[in-house]
Amino acid sequence: MPPSSLDPQFDAYAQDYDSALNQGLKLSGERKEYFADGRGAWMKRVLGQAGTGRMLDFGCGVGAVTPFLLRHLRLTHLTGSDLSDASLALARQQYASEVVDFCPLGEMKALAGTFDLAHCNGVFHHIPLEHRLDAARSVFDALKPGGFFCFWENNKWNPIVHFMMSRVPFDHDAITLWPHEARGLLRSVGFEVLRTDYHFVFPAALAPFRVLEPALRKLPLGGQYMVLCQKPR
C-alpha cells in the first residue's frame, strides 16, 4: 500500500517515488490513485459533517494524496508535513496553493491546536519504534479538542501485503503495526478510539466482488486498515 514517510532517507526516493511504489502495487492490478481515492471516499463516509475545516497530512511525502483529500473532504486548508526536504520541495512545486501548504516537521509546534482533522497513510511503519510515541503525540497536540485523526496503516494480518512491501525499495525493512498495536499507541497519547475498518480486499482481477467490501469492513482481510480516533473535548 502507498506509504508516506517521516524518514529523511526518503530524500533519495523523492524523484522516483511513483515508480518505486508501483513495483509493489503491480500485484494488485491498481495504481496508487485507486487507493488514495478509496481512502478519501471512506473518510468522507465515516466523518460526514465532521469532515471539514483545517487538516494536517502527517508524513505527506511528495503530497500525492493532496487532490484526493481536497476532493472528498470539505477542507478550508490543508497542511502537509514531513521530514524529507526533497519530498516537500516536490510537493510545494506541484500542489501548493492558497489552501494548501507544506512545512517541515520541526515547525509543527507553532501549529499546535490549530487543526480540525489529521490524516496519515503508511507512515508509522517507517518510524523507529522508539520514536512512535512522540510522533503520535505530535499529531494529538496539533489537533483542536474534538479533532479527528484518520490513522491508515498496511494490514499486518494480510500475507499479500508483506509480499508487496518486499518489492518496494523503501518498504523492505519497514516494521508494520498490528491493528491492536495502533489502537494502543493512539490511546496512550490520549486519543479516544472510535472504530477500526479494513479496506481493499479484492485486487483488480476480482473487481466485480468489490461491491461486497462494505460488508467486510470489520474483518481483517483488506490490504489496509483505518483507525478513526478523536481528541477528547
Q: How far apart are CA 79 and CA 83, in angstroms?
A: 14
pLDDT at 70: 97
132 occurs within a structural domain:
yes
Give the total number of structural domains in the chain. 1
Task: Convert 207-217 to b/e letters by CB count within 10 Å (16 or more is b).
Answer: eeeeeebeebb
pLDDT at 24: 52
Q: How far apart are CA 210 and CA 67, in angstroms?
A: 23
How much is the mean pLDDT over the chain?
A: 87
All 3 cell numbers of residue 75? Answer: 477542507
200 occurs within a structural domain:
yes
1 occurs within a structural domain:
no
Residue 54, SS3 per DSSP: strand
End-to-end CA distance of the chain: 33
Mean of pLDDT values over 209-230: 95
- Convert the pLDDT of each residue in 17-57 to its tens digit: 555 455 555 566 677 889 899 999 999 999 998 999 999 99
Mean of pLDDT values over 55-81: 96
74 occurs within a structural domain:
yes
**CATH number where 72 lies:** 3.40.50.150
pLDDT above 90: percentage of residues in the chain: 70
69 occurs within a structural domain:
yes
